[in-house]
Amino acid sequence: MKENNLEKANEMKPEAHAHAPLQNIAIWLKKNLFSSPTNTMLSIVVISLFFMALGPMINWLLIDSVWQGSAQDCREATGACLVFIREKYQFILFGFYPREELWRPILSITLFVAFLWWSKEPKRWSRRLLWRWIKLLLLITLLMKGGILGLVHVPVDKWGGLPLTLLLSFFGLLFSYPLGIILALARTGKLPLIRILSVTYIELIRGVPMISLLFMASVMFPLFMPDGVSFPKLLRAQVAIIMFMSAYMAEVVRGGLMAIDQGQYEAADALGLNYWQKQIKIILPQALKIVIPPTVNTSIGMFKDTSLVVIIALSDLLMTTKTALKDANWLGFSMEAYLFTALIYFIFCFSMSRYSNRLEEEFSYGVNK
């Protein structure tokens, strides 16, 4: 791949005639750290700055930190208050879900992550996988909600923390992906009226911040509904997220549609396929495959953006963190709490972006670039 030319040039090529390992390290160091006086100076400055910053951080997190005791012990210490995390991690992760029923969200998340892991191989992607996902999501919803099979009923407004964040982003993805495809088809299609509708929608949504849509969901949607019909805030926020996400998905899909050779359309027409046959059997499979990496990137963005529901006070992962910080007995440990939550978000987003990189490499195989 061309993109990595420079990086590859920077890395040392493993020599065929093997040096002793120590010699290899020396060559590597010479090449990457000390190739010129300027580089040597830069390396020394950066490395020493790094260790100067690392030292206090390790002190704060590991050496001076408080692992056991009370809030008072924490305030007297200079390091991180890990007691706070131990005290609050259940609340941050699962919100107001009943303590004795916690195995349910834990099992749900485990199932979710395990199945996500299982379906990451492109060779397993099929229509059946989609059905399995829908079944799994229903199962998780039932498990979380309860009310049957002797499970205690837990109303939706008690859900919180990580399960809520995952549900918001995953249902968001599930609905906005097909919507995005339809919008993209409408935008690239030949019917002018439909194209105008689609362009207006996409540009309108992409032009405004997501917060304005969430405000819309929390204050305007109730006014749209006929008398006596009302939806919980969570569902309204979910609709806003889907509306927002589908405009961005549409642009990603459109990129794929634009990259398809005109000859593919003509060939499909020549075979006598109608519009939907042409799109479903010929165009979309190719277009969607091209844009898998940007689709994953958009999904990461959306996963991060679900944290904005904090502004309309839904108890997602970030909101439970903020709520945990308001506990009068444990005031003033925001660093610990935010870093803990940041770590959770980071694990999810980072693994997704690694995955996106891997897919990009896999799919670019054999493509001339």
CB of 49 to other proteins, least distance (A): 9
Alpha carbon separation from 369 to 246, 285, 316, 366 (Å, rounded): 29, 20, 42, 9
Centre a 10 Å sphere on the Cβ of residue 128 and count the other Cβ atoms it contains.
Answer: 9
Element (H, E) at 352: helix 334-364
The residue (of 210 and 245) whose beta carbon lies closer to other proteins is 210
* 208-221 core/surface letters (b: 16 or more CB in 10 A; e: else): eebeebbebbbeeb
Residue 204 found at the interface with other proteins (CB under 8 A)? yes
Residues 148-187 that bind other proteins (CB under 8 A): none
The residue (of 54 and 138) whose beta carbon lies closer to other proteins is 54
Region of 94-102, 118-126, 282-290, 339-347 interacting with other proteins (CB under 8 A): 339-347
Residues 49-78 that bind other proteins (CB under 8 A): 50
Region of 19-27, 84-92, 137-145, 210-218 interacting with other proteins (CB under 8 A): 210-218
CB of 176 to other proteins, least distance (A): 18
Spatial separation of the C-alpha atoms in residues 133 and 214, rounded to whole Å: 27
256 touches 290 (CB < 8 A): yes
Region of 19-27, 33-41, 127-135, 154-162 interacting with other proteins (CB under 8 A): 33-41
Residue 32 found at the interface with other proteins (CB under 8 A)? yes
Q: In sequence order, what are the beta bridge partners of 316?
A: 161
Residue 270 found at the interface with other proteins (CB under 8 A)? no
Closest CA to 259 of 184, 197, 174: 184
317 touches 341 (CB < 8 A): yes
Residues 182-201 that bind other proteins (CB under 8 A): 190-194, 197
97 touches 105 (CB < 8 A): yes
DSSP string, 140-151: HHHHHH--STTP
181 touches 295 (CB < 8 A): no
Per CB under 8 A, the list member of 224, 270, 326, 367 interacting with other proteins is: 224
Region of 65-73, 208-216, 254-262, 278-286 interacting with other proteins (CB under 8 A): 208-216
Spatial separation of the C-alpha atoms in residues 291 and 195, rounded to whole Å: 21
352 touches 300 (CB < 8 A): yes
Q: Helix, strand, coil shares of the chain as percentages rounded to 5?
A: 75, 0, 20
Spatial separation of the C-alpha atoms in residues 50 and 233, rounded to whole Å: 46
Per CB under 8 A, the list member of 156, 288, 310, 359 interacting with other proteins is: 310
The residue (of 83 and 308) whose beta carbon lies closer to other proteins is 308
Residue 300 found at the interface with other proteins (CB under 8 A)? yes
Per CB under 8 A, the list member of 8, 19, 206, 281 interacting with other proteins is: 206
CB of 107 to other proteins, least distance (A): 26
Residue 26 found at the interface with other proteins (CB under 8 A)? no
Binding site for other proteins (CB under 8 A): 2-3, 5-7, 10, 32-33, 35, 39, 42-43, 46-47, 50, 190-194, 197, 204, 206-212, 215-216, 219-220, 222-227, 300, 304-305, 307-308, 310-311, 318, 322, 332, 334-335, 338-339, 341-342, 345-346, 349-350, 353
